[in-house]
Homo-oligomer: A and B are copies of this chain.
Amino acid sequence: MTREQEEVAESNLAFYRAFESLDIREMEKVWLREDYVRCIHPGWARISGWEDVLSSWRRIFENTQEMRFELTEVTIHVQGVLAWLTLYENISTRVEGETSRGIILTTNIFEKWQGRWWIIHHHGAPTVAPPSKPPSTLH
């Protein structure tokens, strides 16, 4: 991994740590404050712009008691001030007292600004065919 890829990997982990924290102030710190940010939660419509994206996280956080990620098959590419990743989110979540597990296949895009990588695009989608682990260990 190049040094830049390592930086991106760290910023990507910071995004998932913010997600796990369920604290909107942590999520605010990782998104670039721009109108052109986009967020697609699994199965949702596209959300555009910093304000609406943050509102969507607030909604998710208010309705979630616990969220844990194991990221697998992470690929990172850097080109100039942009970096794009694909990865599997192996998720354990607790909503209204009920624990569930699932796999989300995700594209994340980061932009470098003032020496830091900020997330500008998150597209998580349901997937039916995890390649690396047998479904029995995850369901």
Chain A residues in contact with chain B, CB under 8 A? 36, 38, 40, 42-46, 48, 73, 75, 77, 79-82, 84, 86, 88, 105, 107, 109, 111, 121, 123, 125-131
Contact = CB atoms under 8 A, between A and B. Distances in A.
Q: How many copies does the complex hold?
A: 2
B80 A81 contact: yes
B82 A43 contact: no
A84 B126 contact: no
Given A107-B107, A126-B125, A129-B44, A81 B84 contact: no
A131 to B, nearest CB: 5
A10 to B, nearest CB: 20
A4 to B, nearest CB: 14
